[in-house]
Amino acid sequence: MKHKPTCLALAAAVLISASAAAFAAETEPAIRVDGRLIHFEDQKPVLLEEENRILIPARGVFEAMGATVEWRQETKKVFVDSYNNVIHLELNIGDPTMLVYTYTTSLLNPEKEEVALDAAPQLINDRTMIPLRAVSESLNAIVDWDQEQQLVDITTQQRQNYIESAEEASGAAYDAKTALPNLTLTADKETVQAGDTVTLSINLSNAQSLGDDIYYTGLTAGIFYDASKFSFTSYTPVVNGVTPESGSYIGGSNPSFKEDSLKLAYIFYPNADVIEQLSDGVIATVTFTALADGPAEFSLSDRITDRGYDTGLTIQQGEEPTAETPTLAASEELYIDTTPVQVN
């Protein structure tokens, strides 16, 4: 299992918050990588009408796929290397041909292929935009397009390998909900009026899927909500049903993260007495105050932004503090239930 390290700076981080060919400006296709929605900071994906192809900013999506992306201004070239450094791609602005180098047998003599692109890379609003499907498939990803939802669903090679391995080990079809620890959201009431408070619980289940001797050390959570109807009041960590003292952890929150959601993060100090073995139950509560009568809804975020995963569970192996504490956030590590919680 691949983990991403975290540290005390995690909590503080959440507090920071050229013309092209004709395209449908009102159309902004959504893109998901291994089940996680990608957030684009400024330049959105572009659907080229004439070519019927999607161009995306060079970095965000492919970095979410585990690739390394390099832009060289002096030559107007984009280089993309696969997560395992087996595949190397070269693209040029305005050139409808992509070079694909595959290092299967030799680091000195890779296999070389020229791939014709339906849409050449180009600069849009000073951002380098490259074709989504051609690059993704050259990285051995599966790309599915949902016309009705205007959604591109990308499954990386490593995700495919993970599912294949999991199914081979279990002898059954892979189901993330039963194979992984789950995070869900619930509310303490079904109806609210202006002035009422509503407390959401972030719940963990299937913790035993991680095995024994796993300890809960922190949480990062993104929650979508309607800021015109609710104001964020506070969040509280919970350990085995008990609220720890404020001095046992460092944390922060941003109620207008990326303009459409709350993001909170906290991590317990390494020697805090509240660090307990991971178990099912409520791991945090979040309280909002209603500014208007319902209805409204809340939902956990499984999005990836320029600041990483919106939601992740921080753990450590064993009771003793370690130099690094991994955060479970990827789709092969944590199942995030994004079902909206309705409040009427």
Radius of gyration from C-alpha coordinates of the chain: 22
| Euclidean distance between CA atoms 112 and 215, whole angstroms | 47
Q: Percent of the chain at pLDDT above 90?
A: 78
The structure tokens 């004709």 sit at 22
pLDDT at 10 over 70: no
What pLDDT is recorded for position 27? Answer: 58
**What pTM was computed for the model?**
0.87
User: What is the rounded average pLDDT of the residues 264-287?
Assistant: 94
pLDDT (tens digit, 9 = 90+) per residue, 141-168? 999 999 898 999 999 999 999 999 999 9
Say which residue, 287 or 294, is predicted with more confidence: 287
Q: What is the pLDDT of residues 12-70, one digit of tens each?
A: 444 433 333 333 344 578 999 999 999 998 889 998 877 778 999 998 999 999 999 99
Query: Would you place residue 319 in the very low, low, confident or very high pLDDT band (cuts 50, 70, 90)?
Result: confident
Residues 134-144, mean pLDDT to the nearest whole number:
96
pLDDT tens across 88-103, in order? 999 999 999 999 999 9
User: What tokens does 18 get?
Assistant: 């050229």
The pLDDT assigned to 14 comes to: 43
Buried b (16+ CB within 10 A) or exposed e, 89-110: bebebeebebbbeebeeeeeeb
- What pLDDT, on the 0 to 100 scale, is given for residue 105? 77
Closest listed residue to residue 136, CA positions, set 122, 105, 115, 150: 115
In angstroms, the CA 15 to CA 307 distance is 11
